[in-house]
Structure formats: C-alpha cells, structure tokens
A and B are shown apart, each in its own frame.
Chain A
Amino acid sequence: MENMFVNPPGECDSKSATDSERTLYPYVTGTSVVAVKYKDGILMAADTGGSYGSTLRYKSVERMKAIGKHSVLGASGEISDFQEILRYLDELILYDNMWDDGNSLGPKEVHNYLNRVMYNRRNKFNPLWNSLVLGGVKNGQKYLGMVSMIGVHFEDNHVATGFGNHLARPILRDEWHEDMSFEEAVKLLEKCMLVLLYRDRSAINKIQIAQVTEAGFNTFQPYALKTFWGFSAFENPSKGAVGTW
C-alpha cells in the first residue's frame, strides 16, 4: 500500500490549494529607491509610480514613509506588501510609544526588526516581495541600511534598490563624499534619478525626496526632472529603415 503522505511522482507539495496563500509573483510594483547619508542626516529619493506589469497604472504612490520619530522607510517591489510592512511597523512603534519611558526604537533597531521579518517570511517560502531602504538619525548618529526580500541586509553610506543598484550606485561610488550639504546631496540624487528615468522602463517623471534629520522626518512635494530628447538620431526615426511600419 502506498504511503499516503508521499506525493505521486511528478507532483510536489507546493502545487496544492495552499498555493493561493503564498506570494508567488508581485503584481503592483514600485521601482528603484535611492538614498544617501549627508551632513544633517539621510536623503532618500523615489518616484511615485506603481506599475501593474508593464502598465504604468498608478502615478501617485508614496513609497517612502516615516517610521517613529527617527526613521524613514522606502520600498520597491510589491506595494501591498509594503503596506503590510507599514502595518507591522505601526504596531511596533505603537507598543514602543506605550512604554512612555524615554526610550525609543532607533533606525538600527527598526532595520534589524525588518530583517527578522523578511528572513522569516523567506524561510516559509512566502516572502514579502520588497527591497527596503531604512534610514534615520538618532542621537546624532546617522544610519542607512537595506533589506532584500530574502533577508540579505547591510548598512552603507549610500544604498539603492532594483535598477538603482546598477545605474545609481556607480555614480554614488564616484561622487558621494562625507558631510555633503543638503543642496549637494539633492543634486546627486537627482542625477541618479535622471539616469533611472532615461533607462528604467518602469520609472516615471514624478519624483519625491524624503529627508530625515535629528529634528525629524520631512517629505517634499513630488516634481518632475528636466529631460532632453533633442538628439539628432531621434529626428527622423525611419531614416535607416525604409518601409517601416
């Protein structure tokens, strides 16, 4: 008699009714987030787009949110999972505030908590499909870290997610330096976001910048970057291909 707990050949356990209860693919996604440490704290940039596959469906998605008094969380990947993470962090900060004892969770603690959550979900084969950027300032100490959907985490002076890793970080490696002024840092972020706008097909020209300093969190109104398309090669697109449709 066959062991009823062993699957018939060719079939594995994940192909069961419980598949609908695990994250398999992302649906509504945000693209890159780029962040740098600067003189007074952290600056983070992300566009406000939410793609539904290749359709740019939502154009005013806020992908950076304040966490507690000291931190900001930016996310790329599945937007609904980002919202779930915000719910977890909401509860975490709430309980932290309820102690009312002068202690508070700083960016380092929140980063590590997120790492624990992401890694545990990965172990259950039900990930939160996000790459997270966590930055903050507490007691004069600046902190900037990243957590991926499989629980890989690290801290650095500048971080980026998704395409930002390939397009923005080389720029940051060359041009970032300690104690940049606010204007310098914004210019650097805009430079990165411009490259991403040109080259990342899921990027939109509506970017938002978030700032955390010792004083707290601040976000600026979304705005568009100036782009240039006046290249001679674009003037007569069918020049090299007669009869093109």
Chain B
Amino acid sequence: MLRNQYDTDVMTWSPMGRLFQVEYAMDAVKQGGAAFGLRSRSHVVLASVDRAVSGLSFHQRKIFKIDDRTGVAMAGLAADGRVVLQYLASECINYSFVYESPIPVSRLVARLADKAQACTMLSLKRPYGVGCLVAGTDESGVHLYYNCPSGDYFECQAFAIGSHSQAAKVCLEREFETFNDRPREELIQRALLAITETLRWQGKEFDSSSCTVAILGENEAFHVISRSVIEQLVDSSKAT
C-alpha cells in the first residue's frame, strides 16, 4: 500500500519537490532506539537507550569508537550502522596513514554526508537507514555533528534522535546554552537526565543495563563509561 504516489523509488521527485524515499529513511531513524549527544568546550558525551530483541538477548550496541579521537552514536537500522561505522573507521585510519595526523572532524562527516547523498540519486542504491551523532576532537577543538540519511549534516551543541527522544529534546533545549561551560561530570549528568526522561516517557525506569554513555575530551580518548560508574552517578544524583 503506497502512502504516496511518488514514493516507489528514490529516483522520483514528488510534484511538491520531495523525495519520499529519503523521508522514509529519516523515519527509520525516528523508529530506532534513542541516542543523544551533548558538547561542552572540552568534552562531548554520547548516550543511548539500547533495545533488546528479546528478553534473552543482549541489548543492541549503538555507540562505537571509531578511533581514539572519534566516536559515533547511531539510531535506526543497526545493519546499515555497521557499514557506516566501517566507512568512518576506514576514512580515519587512511587519513592518519597518509598524513600522520588525525582527520579534521568536519571533513570526516562531510565525506560521510557525500556518501549518504550518493545513495539518494542512484537507482541501484537506497538511502542508509541510520542517523549518526559523530563526536570528535581535532586541532580546532571538540565537535558534535549529526549526519542524516539524506546527506545533510550539521554541527550541534546537543542533539537527540530516535524514538521517544522528544522529551529529552525538550530538556536539552532548556539547558544547551550552558553546556559550553559545564564541567565533565555535569555534562554526563545531563546525558543521564536525557536518558531518564526518554525512559519515563515510555513508562520505564532507568536501568543501567539498557543504556550506554560514552565520553570524549580534548585530552581524553573516546571510551564507554562503565556500568558501575553510571550507577554511582545516578545514585548520587538521586541523593541530591
């Protein structure tokens, strides 16, 4: 059943100037589990709400390290996410090999965006069904970018994608202007708050086994924060 007349393939424009297949790809991101990014002057925090296929399986990982200086949180089709991750890692290491220097984050995300855009005008491809929050550090500081399946990308102070992320977006919008000056721990707390809000919207309690938080800093390699530390932080914030 076609929602619209002009949505059969990505090569067809609608009379109103829309590419429905690309828009459907963005919807795939909206259906995926929530992911968030927050940036201060010296750190970027990525957080995600992880889903499990069934009660027996592990929760799907959505946050990945690309290299010591870059990481990504994805929402949408996990399989497409793996391909995108491999591309990002490959670009990073190729640049490093030729120039003995880390790739500027803006150029990395621009390359990913070019790859995504190509899929919006080839009849033999479909757009990637994954939205990427790319956190990276280079000569000019720390950066957070959001890459859409459409090939758009933009830098942000904070962003939230995926299902039920609206609640988190609201609380990030209220506070993002203060993020630049927040110390590292407070930034992590804000990320945990975003997760908690999202879960509350779904009527769920915070559960450290179903969420991931990772951090990257000017002098701190990208790494996922351990569950025990997360639990400590949540407990200490509950106490205050």
Q: Does A167 contact B (CB under 8 A)?
A: no
- A106 neighbours in B (Cβ, 8 Å): 101
- A80 neighbours in B (Cβ, 8 Å): none
Given A101-B106, A101-B107, A103-B106, A109-B138 contact (CB < 8 Å): no
Given A99-B107, A103-B106, A103-B107, A112-B139 contact (CB < 8 Å): no
Given A102-B140, A103-B140, A109-B106 contact (CB < 8 Å): no
- A99 neighbours in B (Cβ, 8 Å): 106-107, 110
**Contact call A113/B98, Cβ cutoff below 8 A:** yes
Q: Does A56 contact B (CB under 8 A)?
A: no
Question: B144 to chain A: closest CB distance in Å?
Answer: 16
Tell me the bound Cα distance from A154 to B35 in angstroms.
44
Tell me the bound Cα distance from A109 to B100 in angstroms.
6
- A105 neighbours in B (Cβ, 8 Å): 99
Q: Does A22 contact B (CB under 8 A)?
A: no
Cβ contact of B101, chosen from A102, A108, A116, A139, cutoff 8 A: A108
Which residue from chain B places its CB closest to the CB of A111 in the assembled complex? Answer: B100
User: Using an 8 Å CB-CB cutoff, how does the interface string of A105-146 with B read, 1 for contact, 0 for none?
Assistant: 110110111001000000000000000000000010000000
Tell me the bound Cα distance from A109 to B104 in angstroms.
12
Which residue from chain A places its CB closest to the CB of B99 in the assembled complex? Answer: A109
Question: A110 to chain B: closest CB distance in Å?
Answer: 8
Tell me the bound Cα distance from A112 to B100 in angstroms.
6
Which residue from chain B places its CB closest to the CB of A153 in the assembled complex? Answer: B100
**Contact call B99/A139, Cβ cutoff below 8 A:** no
Tell me the bound Cα distance from A8 to B188 in angstroms.
72
Tell me the bound Cα distance from A106 to B139 in angstroms.
11
Contacts A/B (CB < 8 Å), 20 sampled? A99-B107, A99-B110, A101-B104, A101-B106, A102-B140, A103-B104, A103-B106, A103-B138, A103-B139, A103-B140, A106-B101, A108-B101, A109-B100, A111-B100, A112-B101, A113-B98, A113-B99, A116-B97, A116-B98, A139-B139
What would 9 more interface pairs be, CB under 8 Å, given A103-B138, A108-B99, A108-B101?
A103-B104, A103-B107, A103-B140, A106-B101, A108-B100, A111-B100, A112-B98, A112-B101, A139-B139
> Which residues of A are interface residues toward B (Cβ below 8 A)?
99, 101-103, 105-106, 108-109, 111-113, 116, 139
